[in-house]
Chain A
Amino acid sequence: DIQMTQSPSTLSASVGDRVTITCRASQSISSWLAWYQQKPGKAPNLLIYKASFLESGVPSRFSGSGSGTEFTLTISSLQPDDFATYYCQQYKSYSVTFGQGTKLEVK
């Protein structure tokens, strides 16, 4: 299986900050990467697919980049609603795998 590693595991930030979360794959996955946001007690929500394509309805302050083995999710100006846990997911292989998650918390 392709292993996905996110960093950091926890990120403390303030409203208005620009934040970046990194996801690394154990082998090249081209651009077959998605990002999800999950709030406590809720199902995850798709933010970005194919590394950089914004899902419909997702605010433009979210962006994704990268290819191969290294990817980033950037929130340009953090809003109160953005404090949550974020997961990356590779889908190069049919058995998709997720990163362990990055919890974005209030500083």
Chain B
Amino acid sequence: GQQLNQSPQSMFIQEGEDVSMNCTSSSIFNTWLWYKQDPGEGPVLLIALYKAGELTSNGRLTAQFGTTRKDSFLNISASIPSDVGIYFCAGQLRNFGAGKSTFGDGTTLTVKP
């Protein structure tokens, strides 16, 4: 089946710094999703990407759907302490049904004030 490689596994940054993380796949996806998970909570969707080459922003977050459809990245600008959490990428093939996602292993972000 599909496998997602998400990197880096963890990041320790200073408040105000920019963050970049990415996901690569061994196969093509039709949709890329980026989620954030806070401790004790379920993942919450940050950004959804539906077309190859698409660049989408949500506040300080920007994500891009790679042109090969096998990768995606997420950038966070001017990080703040509440950005702390685990960020997951997820890929979907639409013909397998809405919401059926393959998840990356996550990037754990720590922001030092």
Q: Do A and B bind each other?
A: no
Q: Which residues of A contact B (CB under 8 A)?
A: none
